[in-house]
Amino acid sequence: MFFFKKLLSHLILPPGIFLVVLLIIAIVSKKSKLVRALSLSSALCIYALSIEPTKDLLYKPLESYYPTPLEPKGDAIVILGGGAYGTGILKEDSTKRLLTGFILHKQTGLPLILSGGASMSALPEAEIMKSMLANLGVDKNSLYVDVKSRDTGENAMEVKALCQRLKCKRIILVTSAYHMKRAVMSFERAGLEVVPYPTDFKRDLKYNLYSFLPKMSVFADSYKALREYLGLMWYSFNLDE
């Protein structure tokens, strides 16, 4: 009975309800092979992107690229923003990155450079991070912000300008593991020596029967992975220019 309730809730809520609708369309569209093929293929794609094994397959090449160093050494810790809500609350990715950077700061005493300007809230994302760290007891003299950057490339250029002022040559870069490869490429292209410190790992790796039920949260994570591959492709095109 418990599994049946779980299954029913997953079929009623998105993306499960979309799968049901697409399968119904495929069943009632017997006269149109094209409609049936499109419906079934769309349902298959939505289902695949909504289950944990597929999501983990998408993230494996991204998250396995850089291991987390045991004793990172650098002149400053750079934390890349990962989004904030219009209410001024950091999104999940940003929060995990900020917590990791905070722990590193406590361990090393290195200054923190917070990078992120684009935000739906009244304050730039870097300012939100600065306020949170100050509330956690971090000395404001150890906090530096970039509030202009809108993407990873601009993160790198704005942080490079801050590093030149602070005379930092080697940075410990904190961002989500899936985003680290593109981030390192951008910062090295800007001329900085980078020590990658990945966090916010998305893979589950342990599965059960519920791992194969479609979930909206898993679909959202799959979307992030696909968007990152698109970003890497776009970056490779820029390198060829």
Domain boundaries, the chain: 1-51, 76-199
The pTM of the full predicted model, rounded to 2 decimals, is 0.91
Question: What does the pLDDT profile of the chain (241 residues) look like in tens digits?
Answer: 766 777 778 788 899 899 999 999 988 987 788 999 999 999 999 999 999 999 999 999 999 999 999 999 999 999 999 999 988 899 999 999 999 999 999 999 999 999 998 766 678 999 999 999 999 999 999 999 999 999 999 999 999 999 999 999 999 999 999 999 999 999 999 999 999 999 999 998 899 999 999 999 999 999 999 999 999 998 877 753 3
CA distance 33 to 31: 6
The DSSP output letter for 191 is T
Q: How far apart are CA 78 and CA 220, in angstroms?
A: 26
Q: Where are the alpha helices (H) located in 71-114, listed in sequence order?
A: 92-108
Reduce the DSSP state of residue 118 to 3 states and report it: coil
Tell how far CA 225 is from the center of its chain: 8
> 76-199 has which CATH code?
3.40.50.620
Alpha-carbon separation of residue 222 from 57, 117, 131, 192 (angstroms): 10, 25, 31, 30
